[in-house]
Homo-oligomer: A and B are copies of this chain.
Amino acid sequence: MRAREAGITIGYIPPGPNNTITDVDGVRVGHSTIISGGGPLVVGDGPVRTGVTVVCPREGWTWEEPVFAGCHRFNGNGEMTGLEWIREAGVLETPVAITNTHSVGVVHDALIAAEFEDNTEEYWCLPVVAETYDGTLNDINGQHVKPEHVREALADASGGPVAEGSVGGGTGMICHEFKGGIGTASRKLPDDEGGWTVGALVQSNYGRRHMMRVDGAPVGRVLTTEKIPSPYEQGTQAQPGTGSIIVILATDAPLLPIQCDRLAQRATIGLGRAGGGCDNGSGDIFLAFATGNRGIQPEGTVNPPPTVSTNMVTNEYMTPLFHAAVEATEEAILNALLAAGTMTGRDGITAHGLSSDLLLGALDEARALCGRR
């Protein structure tokens, strides 16, 4: 049950039809989920709890029809490759992939190979690959993600509903010491605010229990680790607060690159409202792309024209887009938590799922704690 189905609303703006990042026309999401084995960790053998998620910004190949993009580093204790060109030119030319920390490389090279297979022209490619750390549940040093998983995730990419929770790159993730993973949400602005859609997809692996909030209510103070045990108290050396969150924002508004940067930074507010943003060990990196401009030539185009026509959102209209990004980010985190379920990984370490029953049962007590110690 997603947040909205459980009767919890975040913010003011209505969601798009699926309340997913794929509500932005043309955006597709695919997962490859890798789960095998159990019991004690034997590096190379497992247990395996990991995967890859891809976000494709267009219907077709991104490199033939790039999108404007921007990014924000809220806390750089993590990796998102490909950001130098996005910072320089504001153009995203590949799908975005998200995986575990120690499989960034294999995914990187596999995205290049996938582009080559589809593209007989001479070319080059700087893929965007992001990560969070799943070594508390997964044999991360076994490096179990293989090129075929990337191809599988690309083949799986589609519009419409998006699988959430313990899937794809989110398979082995932990959030607020509950089971975390992939979550998504969207907002559709009214016509007089531009009528655009903003979608968020998160790979959510950050946070401490007692900091967790739902639309302001400090539920983490009610659902304590005494009541629902933390995976970090089960023999792992990893500490609470050492995870990360990757946020991908998409919109069909015709944002310029500099405006994508601005949108990306707003994910901070959504993360902060959910109870994140204070951990040195968290790699919190945000990417925003905007599909509303077409015909921006990729670098490899032979004989491009000197100029192309673009549109931009006037700055006054950025405000509703900012609100939409904040709301979608906060709700995507909550959706990830509600979808993830309980998972037992290496060495029997268990990350408990946050069911909607559990959450709804804690909410009233949590509400009353606002402003009280």
Q: Footprint of B on A, CB under 8 Å?
A: 7-10, 12, 43, 73-91, 101-110, 112-113, 116, 121-122, 124-126, 129, 133, 135, 140-141, 143, 194-195, 210, 213-218, 236-238, 241, 254, 256-259, 262, 265-266, 268-269, 271-273, 276-281, 283, 285, 296-297, 299, 301-302, 304-319, 322-323, 326, 363, 366-368, 370-373
Q: How many chain copies?
A: 4
Decide: B89 and A84 in contact? CB cutoff 8 A. Answer: no
Decide: A315 and B89 in contact? CB cutoff 8 A. Answer: yes
Find chain B residues with CB under 8 A from A367 CB.
217, 367-368, 370-371
Find chain B residues with CB under 8 A from A268 CB.
74, 268-269, 272, 277
Decide: A112 and B102 in contact? CB cutoff 8 A. Answer: yes
Decide: A277 and B326 in contact? CB cutoff 8 A. Answer: yes
Find chain B residues with CB under 8 A from A302 CB.
237
For this complex, 28 residue pairs linking A to B, each with C-beta atoms less than 8 Å apart, are A43-B116, A76-B87, A77-B84, A77-B85, A83-B84, A88-B262, A102-B125, A105-B112, A109-B143, A215-B218, A215-B371, A216-B217, A254-B307, A257-B257, A266-B277, A268-B268, A268-B272, A269-B277, A269-B278, A272-B326, A278-B326, A279-B319, A279-B322, A280-B322, A301-B316, A308-B312, A309-B311, A310-B311
Decide: B316 and A299 in contact? CB cutoff 8 A. Answer: yes
CB of A45, distance to nearest CB on chain B (Å) = 14
Partner of A79, one of B81, B271, B297, B318: B81
Decide: B109 and A81 in contact? CB cutoff 8 A. Answer: no
Decide: B116 and A124 in contact? CB cutoff 8 A. Answer: no
Find chain B residues with CB under 8 A from A109 CB.
102-106, 143
Decide: A87 and B106 in contact? CB cutoff 8 A. Answer: no
Decide: A307 and B313 in contact? CB cutoff 8 A. Answer: yes
Partner of A213, one of B86, B101, B126, B216: B216
